[in-house]
């Protein structure tokens, strides 16, 4: 086996071409749907071969959701919350400090209050209290005189804290979606589609999806107005996208139905967040949620107070909401500065790893902010092609956040290192941990050993899925409009990537932003503007190809500028086919 490439260099991607459906199946789908061949080929390559499956995909409806009762323990949770509301007991809704936790906490708080419940929302402080239901949450519940604690986006691994509350006479209901790392806590009910004995069909829900189902079932049981819960699909869409949940199945329904509600949300706080981000006059897409709205709200939990995010989303007062939204803007700018500094330090540290023995990366810093290292870990993975864990160390304790590559189960890897960790939790692709600083060297070695044992050199090469060959002459405005029916796109439902050969560069490349390039490509209709984000380091290759041709992997998009909207290609990757005379291939 060849040694892995050095983490000091960006890793060239391999292109994986989707299998083209057979002609008969494609023609049958075209005839049934009356749609162009290109769109039907995209549907078939995603597994939607029958016209019924394709119609459900193209037009996701609330009727396609599975009954809430499919979640194990839902009936127990509903009965206990109903009794708490009817008897006037204090309910503490304990959330996590990310967007999923904030939105889940807001949704359950609002639903319970609408039904007449006495509810106190609580979110731990990331820096002071740490992740999950812990001592701070236990104390908050006892101080509030709670009869019931309902967790949102946490609690599945909080065995000790749940036992402490149960011993104190406080019933605990867990609503979560994280993978169990061991025995379930001794809670009254554990609503989690990922528990091994849960038989609900969709295992990919974000925590907000679990909360939505609980709120809907409770509202129905108490004869409440279901529209109160349905009108909070804006929160469900926001959190589902922000938590990078796969956009298929029920999540696709949630996001497709919820995105249009965001801009005109009944939440003054969400409207204020949209205005502050400059999106009040723009379509709210999954991309804009993920890259613009979610980071602003997340900034509160990363370097501020996450409970302020719940206050923002619960706010009914425009002045209060506007002030909190401005705070999101300020903290997001501060967070971006921290990201840049820590990323620079992390990449310089990663460059010191031996090139022939680096499979998994563990980095730590005494001056790193624990609230942003997860974002930076994602950037390190992008740059190196390896799973990475970044750890912020303070007073002898490290708080870490890891991100992974498709071939590596990060949650399972941390399980293999559990004896070196104080605690850990998360998913296959992202996880968090707490560690004694004295164990950092041993953990770094073990993590690398685990990665070496489970990965091959081929696994470390990033992969770009190419859906369909589409010459630029066929990349039209009409096709781009039809492609919007595939939205929302993201993890689990990637935006279509096309392939074109023999492409000539008419003008450029010009650098844009900090890492992008812009070119104009020849088509039969005239030049087509194309941008390539993250490709600035390859500008010399494009220069060399100006009198030759390239093949490109690209997406179709629109450029909206000064009230004008034009078709634009977004270059995902390219290869020089025939360079300029005298230039190396």
Flag whether 244 is in a domain.
Answer: yes
How far apart CA 362 and CA 326 sit, in angstroms, is 35
Interior angle at CA 130, CA 128 and CA 133, nearest 5? 120
Domain stop point among 330, 362, 383: 330
Q: Is residue 8 part of a domain?
A: no
What CA–CA distance (Å, rounded) separates 132 from 94?
9
302 falls within a domain: yes
The DSSP code sequence of 199-219 is --S-----HHHHHHHHHHHHH
Backbone φ/ψ region at 418: left (φ over 0), alpha (ψ -120 to 50), beta: alpha
| Number of domains present in the structure of the chain | 3
Residues 134 and 190 both lie in one domain = yes
> By three-state DSSP, how is residue 96 classified?
coil
What are the tens digits of pLDDT across the range 222-270?
999 999 999 999 999 999 999 999 999 999 999 999 999 998 899 999 9
Q: Backbone phi, then psi, for 133, in 5-degree steps?
A: -70, 115
* 197 and 177 housed in the same domain: yes
341 belongs to a structural domain: no
- Two structure tokens written together for 206: 């974000």
**What is d(CA 245, CA 363) in angstroms, rounded to the nearest whole number?**
26
Cα–Cα distance measured from residue 206 to residue 193, given in angstroms and rounded to the nearest whole number: 10
Do residue 162 and residue 186 come from a single domain?
yes
d(CA 94, CA 219): 20
What confidence score (pLDDT) does residue 425 get?
85
Pairing relationship of beta strands 146-152 and 90-95 according to DSSP bridges: parallel
The answer on 527 and 498 residing in a single domain is: yes
Distance CA 469, CA 353 (A): 39
Q: Alpha carbon of 244 to those of 238, 331, 494: distances in Å?
A: 10, 22, 12
Q: At what angle do helices 74-86 and 207-221 cross, to 10 degrees?
A: 60
Q: In terms of domains, do 123 and 27 share one?
A: no
pLDDT(2) > 70: no
Q: Is residue 176 part of a domain?
A: yes
For 512-522, what is the mean pLDDT?
93
Q: Tell me the pLDDT tens digit for each residue of 379-411.
A: 999 888 899 999 999 999 999 999 999 999 999
**Lowest-pLDDT choice from 12-16, 275-279, 518-522:** 12-16
Encoded tokens for 142 = 């006892």
Kind and range of the H or E run holding 335: helix 318-350
DSSP state at residue 585: -
pLDDT given at position 578: 64
* Whether residue 55 is found in the same domain as residue 94: no
- Length reported for the chain: 585
pLDDT of res. 462 = 86
Q: Is 309 in the same domain as 247?
A: yes
- Domain stops at, among 460, 479, 501: 460
Q: Which phi and psi (to 5°) does residue 500 adopt?
A: -135, 140
Mean pLDDT of the chain: 93
Same domain, yes or no: 404 and 430: yes
User: Do 536 and 495 reside in the same domain of the chain?
Assistant: yes
pLDDT at residue 11, as a whole number: 61
Least confident of 184-198, 211-225, 261-275, 345-359: 345-359
Q: Are residues 23 and 55 in the same domain?
A: yes
Mean pLDDT of 579-584: 49
User: Is the Cβ–Cβ distance between 18 and 467 less than 8 Å?
Assistant: yes
Q: 76 lies in which domain range?
A: 63-330
Query: Do the strands 388-394 and 397-403 form a parallel or antiparallel pair, or are they unpaired?
Result: antiparallel
Do 233 and 357 reside in the same domain of the chain? no
Whole-number pLDDT of residue 126: 86
482 assigned to some structural domain: yes
Whichever domain contains 35, its CATH number is 2.40.50.460
CATH code at 392?
Answer: 3.10.310.30
Lowest mean pLDDT among 18-22, 145-149, 559-563, 572-576: 559-563
Q: What is the DSSP string of 266-305?
A: S-HHHHHHHHHTT-TTS---HHHIIIIIHHHHHHHHHHS-
Regarding whether 138 and 272 lie in a shared domain, the answer is yes
Element (H, E) at 571: strand 564-578
pLDDT confidence tier of residue 206, bands split at 50, 70 and 90: very high
Task: Tell me if 270 is assigned to some domain.
Answer: yes
> What is the CA 249 to chain-centroid distance, rounded?
16
Please tell me the predicted confidence (pLDDT) of residue 8: 42
Confidence at residue 359, expressed as pLDDT on a 0 to 100 scale:
96
List the one residue out of 519, 526, 581, 511 whose CA is nearest residue 548. Answer: 581
Q: pLDDT tens digits for 438-472?
A: 999 999 999 999 999 999 999 998 889 999 999 99
- Residue 314 domain-assigned (yes or no): yes
Tell me the backbone φ, ψ of residue 390, rounded to 5 degrees: -110, 140
Residue 90, classified by CB atoms within 10 Å of its CB into exposed (0-12), middle (13-18) or buried (19+), is middle
């Amino acid at each position: 086996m060849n040694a892995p490439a050095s983490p000091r260099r960006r890793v060239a991607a391999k292109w994986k071409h989707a299998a083209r459906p057979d002609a008969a199946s494609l023609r049958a789908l075209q005839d049934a749907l009356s749609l162009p061949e290109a769109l039907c080929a995209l549907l078939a390559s995603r597994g939607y071969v029958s016209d019924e499956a394709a119609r459900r995909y193209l037009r996701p409806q609330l009727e396609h959701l599975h009954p809430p009762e499919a979640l194990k323990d839902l009936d127990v949770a509903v009965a206990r919350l109903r009794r708490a509301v009817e008897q006037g007991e204090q309910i503490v809704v304990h959330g996590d400090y990310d967007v999923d936790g904030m939105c889940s906490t807001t949704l359950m708080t609002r639903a319970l209050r609408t039904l007449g419940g006495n509810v106190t929302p609580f979110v731990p402080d990331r820096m002071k209290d740490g992740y999950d239901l812990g001592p701070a949450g236990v104390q908050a519940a006892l101080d509030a005189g709670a009869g019931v604690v309902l967790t949102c986006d946490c609690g599945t691994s909080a065995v000790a804290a749940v036992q402490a509350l149960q011993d104190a006479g406080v019933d605990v209901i867990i609503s979560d979606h994280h993978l169990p790392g061991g025995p379930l806590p001794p809670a009254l009910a554990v609503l989690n589609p990922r528990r091994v004995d849960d038989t609900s069909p969709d295992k990919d829900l974000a925590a907000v999806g679990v909360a939505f189902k609980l709120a809907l079932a409770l509202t129905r049981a108490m004869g409440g107005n279901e529209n109160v819960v349905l009108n909070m699909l804006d929160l469900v869409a926001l959190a589902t996208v922000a938590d990078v949940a796969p956009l298929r199945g029920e999540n696709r329904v949630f996001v497709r139905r919820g995105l249009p509600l965001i801009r005109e949300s009944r939440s003054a706080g969400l409207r204020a967040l949209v205005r502050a981000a400059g999106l009040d006059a723009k379509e709210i897409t999954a991309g804009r949620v993920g890259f613009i709205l979610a980071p602003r709200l997340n900034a509160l939990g990363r370097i501020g107070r996450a409970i302020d995010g719940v206050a923002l989303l619960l706010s009914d007062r425009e002045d209060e909401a506007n002030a909190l939204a401005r705070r999101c803007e300020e903290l997001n700018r501060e967070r971006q500065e921290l990201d840049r500094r820590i990323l620079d330090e992390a990449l310089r540290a990663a460059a010191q790893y031996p090139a022939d023995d680096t499979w998994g990366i563990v980095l730590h810093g005494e001056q790193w902010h624990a609230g942003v290292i997860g974002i930076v870990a994602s950037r390190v993975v992008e740059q190196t092609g390896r799973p990475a864990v970044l750890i912020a160390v303070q007073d002898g304790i490290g708080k870490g956040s890891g991100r992974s590559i498709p071939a590596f189960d990060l949650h399972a890897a941390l399980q293999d290192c559990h004896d070196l960790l104080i605690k850990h939790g998360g998913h296959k692709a992202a996880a968090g941990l707490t560690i004694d600083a004295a164990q950092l060297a041993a953990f770094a070695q073990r993590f690398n050993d685990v990665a070496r044992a489970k990965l091959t050199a081929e696994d470390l090469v990033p992969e770009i899925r190419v859906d369909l060959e589409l010459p630029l002459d066929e990349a039209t405005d009409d096709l781009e409009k039809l492609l919007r029916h595939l939205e929302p796109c993201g993890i689990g439902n990637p935006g279509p990537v096309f392939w074109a050969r023999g492409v000539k560069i008419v003008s450029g490349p010009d650098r844009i932003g900090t890492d992008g390039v812009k070119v104009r490509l020849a088509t039969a209709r005239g030049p087509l503007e194309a941008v390539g984000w993250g490709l600035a380091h390859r500008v010399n290759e494009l220069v060399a190809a100006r009198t030759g041709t390239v093949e490109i992997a690209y997406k179709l998009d629109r450029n909206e500028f000064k009230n004008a909207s034009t078709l634009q290609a977004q270059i995902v990757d390219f290869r020089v086919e025939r360079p300029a005379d005298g230039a190396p291939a």
